[in-house]
Amino acid sequence: MTQGGLPGILAEVRDGDRQWFGTAGVADTRTGRERSQHDRFRIGSISKTFVATVVLQLAAEGRLSLDDTVEQWLPGMIHGHYDGAGVNIRMLLNHTSGIFNYTDDLEALNRHETHTPGSLAQIAVSHPPAFTPGSGWAYSNTNYVLAGMITERATGRGLAEEITERISRPLGLTGTYLPHGSDPTIHGPHSRHYTKLFRTDPGAPVHDATELDSSMFWAAGGMISTAGDLNRFFGALLGGRILPPDQQHDMFTTVPTRDWISNAAYGLGVSSVGLPCGKTVWGMGGALFGSWSYTYGTRGGEQLVSTNVNGDWSDGGWDDPIGIFTDLLQAKFCRRGGT
């Protein structure tokens, strides 16, 4: 915190039955309140892991197939520059669809205070694709908005309810949920979230982004959780206790990434990261205004670390909080003996 100039950080480490939790900095710069183990925070793209898990459960139940196309489930949704019959669900989940990332069009997003999943998809299809489906890789939040819409079409229920019923409630994740609609609040104990709105100079003004219309991110990054819940979820997921073997294999079959996290490969809603010491960890990261998070662990889920910073910048030689998180992963997983 001293080097990076961030408001606060928290981390929970799990090694089998052992657990350690620590914080530095503050949850609220106005009051000086410390961060706590119960703090909830926006997890950004770690939401994608939850969504992919639900989709894979539906595949295991025979309610959809990863080879099903977008056109089959969402007729006419992908049009113009795109052919929805040429994009399947697997391509959505591993970012090989080529569909434009709607969050790259800030002008279109800022035209409205709130958004529906359909309006986000329409922003995307107004732009040409990055590549022919299946011929490349590009991180696109649009993929998961479409996956969330397909989930709702396949189940007849809201995505938030599916995540709660299939994951949060069975695993006892009491601090984990997807907000409904444009609800801007974080329910329960939480830290304030601070943003510099992508400005990198140390003197840039800091804004409070705790209350945020999450409809802009929804299935792609709208969820809220805690460090303990994330470790519990990823421990069960990596340990093979949520998905059947075939779907587990699908989730952890990776493709090469491009212009993303260094030394990373991407599966279906999860990623692997190769560390300088030669070890590989599995999990996901998430970045949103004022809240950056990482959860990674060993392939079987025996060792895990979840961390969050309640700011979206970094001074002190790191380009952004990912640099801090990478150092944290090395400290945890590259120490002699791995403890």
Q: Which residues are catalytic?
A: 45
Structure tokens at 22: 């620590």
Rounded to whole angstroms, the Cα distance separating 339 from 325 reads 17
Torsion of CA 80, 84, 87, 89, to 10 degrees: 130
Which stretch of DSSP H or E encloses residue 225?
A: strand 224-225
- Angle (CA) 163-294-235 rounded to 5° is 55
Q: Which amino acid is at 167?
A: I
Q: Are 145 and 220 a contacting pair, CB within 8 Å?
A: yes
Rounded to whole angstroms, the Cα distance separating 296 from 327 reads 13
Rounded to whole angstroms, the Cα distance separating 274 from 8 reads 26
- Crossing angle of helices 141-155 and 47-60, in 10° steps, is 40
- Residue showing tokens 């030689």: 317
Taking residue 202's Cβ as centre, other Cβ atoms within 10 Å add up to 10
Print burial letters for 236-248: b (CB count within 10 Å at least 16), e (below 16). bbbeeebbeeebb
Category of 90 on φ-ψ map: left (φ > 0), alpha (ψ -120 to 50) or beta = alpha
Print burial letters for 32-52: b (CB count within 10 Å at least 16), e (below 16). eeebeeebbbbbbbbbbbbbb
